[in-house]
Structure 1
């Protein structure tokens, strides 16, 4: 019976113990890297032809075989076996099975160390753009809702207590701004990740593949890594990707928390579409925002993945160590989590129905117009510290009488302070309050429309970036 194919072992007198191989073998999820390893192998084959390690005929033969393997894997007719230690072992085994000794020539001038670093980097640069498009789909949902509610007044909160009126569009766009920064972080991360590890080999560089700058360009990189030890021993690009994912997860969780509150009976701001809500197995009346809750929970995984990667890196001597294999587990879990969460959140936001009447009614609950009184006094020369005290006394007067600020009569105003003239009542509407906040970035409808216009330009630039990638894709 043939022995399992390994990329090492000639100096060993005994076969690896089953326990060793169980621990050493890559998780099945790692084999998603096959298309990227094939792309790297094609580039490396061309480099070996340039170096004279392969003839033109051998290079063409290997390239054709790699392309056929890629097609077979994509079609599902070729899969790794239980004895394939990792993606590199799998592909070399199949290549040698199909080509004989010529297939074994491809390993010259490279190592699993630079292959592993390169495959994951190619994968993350590719999938980073797909995640950006998923974020942009969520952005489209938020923007569409915001466009409908530029004039819709709503209560704004600090400390989860009613604070000041805002437009609902302004509240939605606050989330859009955080997601826009997340995509910008991906773009900035990608700029630093655009260095190829190929040619670094095990750690010292290759004595055969001497033109790594050519392979780098073929794979969509800007250049090779400057230092071969850094190329195989660093995973800060993975940790940084995980930070972006974790930050995105936190932002998704904060939006999820607000949607959970808004859809509650106590708030009643929105109603979720039946297709994006769930029920209870015992309480027939329930309609639960499970997407929001699951999103909050999955954010913990993203944060945990970042912590795990940083912890794995912190004590390593600077070259390749098998500890670095944790990079794939954490990266794949982050990608898979976001690939599930983002479309679900986008659908929930896109289909939710907003209760404009409830928002307007609640927009002045809890004396949210109190700041309007203090600002009105300050604009008339009253020191703000004094205006603050007068307004506090006015609120207390309303509480004692069981009325709101918009219910105040002239006598009520004068009873608190003679400077509270009847003209102040023109300021005591939610519409007047939001219209007054007309500085750049404020909640006034005219400013919100400008914010929407600027955001549209940002999102279009991000879409162009996501579509412009010229590296290998799965």
Structure 2
């Protein structure tokens, strides 16, 4: 029991099955770097207030660096009886330094130590995800130039609705990922608070300097209530929720491209490197990467529920239940990161099959709304205009023609306010050119937004 942090209270040995049941080294080993970072800051603070000498601090720092080198080289042994990465590192430190190593945990509990490590880890994770989201945004903006002349049908209810520039689609995803970045930045504010020095739950009688250690670790501030921060996992839930929305946006994009890749749509050609084949049908090329991005969304979204249930009804302050928090967060982070790493090359490497798109672009009466708005400009009440165009669409369906194929006489039978200028808004190219409201999918407005995004992303 001597190597256990709590061994002094106990006379007997822990059941090996309990050691296996309670260990977390199998999943929290990845916290080694932030644990060492936190320990260096803590020992520097202890030296500042005189609870360690400068020589002892330097010994601790150099030995922690040695331990990190062992870990990085894969030569650091994990032992179930030592429970977690924190005790592994501390035990190795004590084995090398004896009593000097035993001083490191002064004015610190594993409760505030773990919370500090998690916050440091999540801060780094937020920065990494943000950088990956920027890469995705850049890929979509790059596509805007490639597809700047292409018009696409936009859909509601998966039915053709109105025409938009292809770049309008790409920038729509940039907007979604920008909101994701803003959510992460907001989450970062609540992560960026140091719990170090709150100890188990009540603080300490020792004259520590929490501001000093917080500054060394780059925290924006220190937690003001030791009871709250020792049990707080709100920031993990918030981080996972942010990841779940990123995943949802990735899934929306994946679903759309899966549909576009079908023979029935034929809008999209995916790079071969991001598709797979069939074990029995030799002609198949399947969008498996996109399908897995869509499928992995379930894992990320589940992490939010997992954490919500975990923290529900926990009495203050720390409870061992919280050991399980890392599993949900690590998996959500790993999953979203893996997805985002694949997206930019897929986006830039894909091709719109413009010959297929253009061949059917006039189908579906994409110019019907433009015709209705033309009537409104002629003084026809909106509901009347809507009804009138609906009747003309029905007539075109009966004839098997487009709105642009109707004669001026046909139009004037439907509404006597129609003149020859009606043909300036009919047809997909005219309809998309007529769109002029800020944020719309029209040619000029989209070009403006492309320029905005190019400047924003430094492209």
Q: Per the shorter chain, which TM-score range?
A: over 0.9
Match of 1:318 in 2: 316
Within 5 A, what are the aligned runs for 1:207-218? 207-208=205-206, 210-218=208-216
Matches within 5 A, 1:391-406: 391-406=389-404
2: CA distance, partners of 1:4 / 1:305: 37
Q: Which moved more, 1:281-290 or 1:141-150?
A: 141-150
Show the 5 A alignment for 1:171-250: 171-208=169-206, 210-250=208-248
SS in 1 for 2:211: helix
- The TM-score normalised by the length of structure 2 is 0.96
CA offset digits 1:240-280 (Å, max 9, x no partner):
10110001111110011111111111111110010111111
Partner of 1:74: 72
C-alpha contact 1:48 1:209 (8 A) present in aligned 2: no
Report what 2:7 is aligned to: 9
Query: Are residues 1:421 and 2:386 paired?
Result: no
Give the structure 2 partner of residue 430 of structure 1. 428
Residues 4 and 457 of structure 1, relative CA distance in 2, 3 Å threshold: farther
Alpha-carbon offset, residue 409 of structure 1: 2.5
Instruction: Give the superposed CA RMSD.
Output: 1.6
Instruction: Tell me the CA shift for residue 459 of structure 1.
Output: 3.8
Aligned residue in 2 for 1:467: none
- Alpha-carbon displacement from aligned partner over 1:431-465 (angstroms, at most 9, x marks no partner): 221222122111122211221222234445xx9xx
Displacement of 1:147 after TM fit?
A: 2.1
Alpha-carbon distance between aligned partners in 1 of 2:63 and 2:269, rounded to the nearest angstrom: 55
Instruction: State the aligned residue count.
Output: 459
CA contact (8 A) 2:200 2:230 kept: yes
Partner SS, residue 121 of structure 2: helix
Aligned to 1:261: 259
Name 1:64's counterpart in structure 2.
62
CA separation in 1, counterparts of 2:77 and 2:158?
53
The question of whether the paired residues in 1 share the 8 Å contact of 2:25 and 2:85 is answered with no
Q: What are the superposed Cα offsets for residues 105-164 of structure 1, whole Å, 9 maximum, x if unpaired?
A: 111110000011110110010121111111111111111112222331110101110000
Secondary structure at the aligned position of 2:155 is classed as: strand
Counterpart check, 1:335 vs 2:333: yes
Give the corresponding residue for 2:38. Answer: 40
Determine if contact 2:122/2:191 at 8 Å carries over to the other structure.
Answer: no
Deviation at 1:52, TM superposition (A): 2.0
CA–CA separation in structure 2 for the residues paired with 1:94 and 1:300: 39
Give the whole-Å Cα distance in 2 for the aligned partners of 1:258 and 1:38. 44
SS state of the match for residue 294, structure 1?
helix
The Cα of 1:215 is off from its aligned counterpart by: 0.3
1:299-328: CA deviation from partner (whole Å, max 9, x where unpaired)? 111110011101111211121111112221
Q: Deviations over 1:16-57 (max 9, x none)?
A: 112221121005221000000000110111111123221221
Measured after TM superposition, the shift of residue 4 of structure 1 is 7.2
CA contact (8 A) 2:2 2:8 kept: no
Moved more, 268-277 or 141-150: 141-150
Q: Is the 8 A contact 1:51 1:210 kept in 2?
A: yes
Q: Which runs of 5+ in 2 are unaligned?
A: none
Q: Using the alignment, how far apart are the partners of 1:235 and 1:342 within structure 2?
A: 25
Whether the 8 Å CA contact 1:270–1:353 is kept in 2: the answer is: yes
**Deviation readout 1:83-106 (Å, 9 max, x if unpaired):** 321011100111111112221111
Taking the aligned partners of 1:107 and 1:421, their CA distance within structure 2 comes to 86
Does residue 297 (structure 1) correspond to residue 295 (structure 2)? The answer is yes
Of 323, 347, 350 in structure 1, the residue corresponding to residue 348 of structure 2 is 350
Task: Say whether 1:162 aligns with 2:199.
Answer: no
Q: Which of 383, 386, 391 is 1:385 aligned to?
A: 383
TM-score, normalization by structure 1: 0.93
1:117 aligns with 2:115: yes
Q: Name the counterpart of 1:105.
A: 103
SS in 1 for 2:417: coil
1:48–1:208 CA contact under 8 A, matched in 2: no
1:114·1:197 contact (CA, 8 Å) conserved in 2?
yes
Q: Are the counterparts in 2 of residues 154 and 362 from structure 1 also a CA contact under 8 Å?
A: no
Q: What is the deviation of 1:359?
A: 2.5
Secondary structure class of the residue paired with 1:441: coil
| CA displacement at 1:201 relative to structure 2 | 0.4
Which range moved further: 353-362 or 322-331?
A: 353-362
Trace 1:145-160 onto structure 2 (pairs within 5 A): 145-160=143-158
Q: Tell me, in whole angstroms, the C-alpha distance in 2 between the residues paired with 1:57 and 1:103.
A: 12
Give the drift of 1:209: 5.6
- In the alignment, is the contact (CA less than 8 A) between 1:53 and 1:208 conserved in 2? no
SS of equivalent residue, structure 1 residue 107: coil
Contact 1:164 1:368 in 2 (8 A): yes
Aligned residue for 1:276? 274
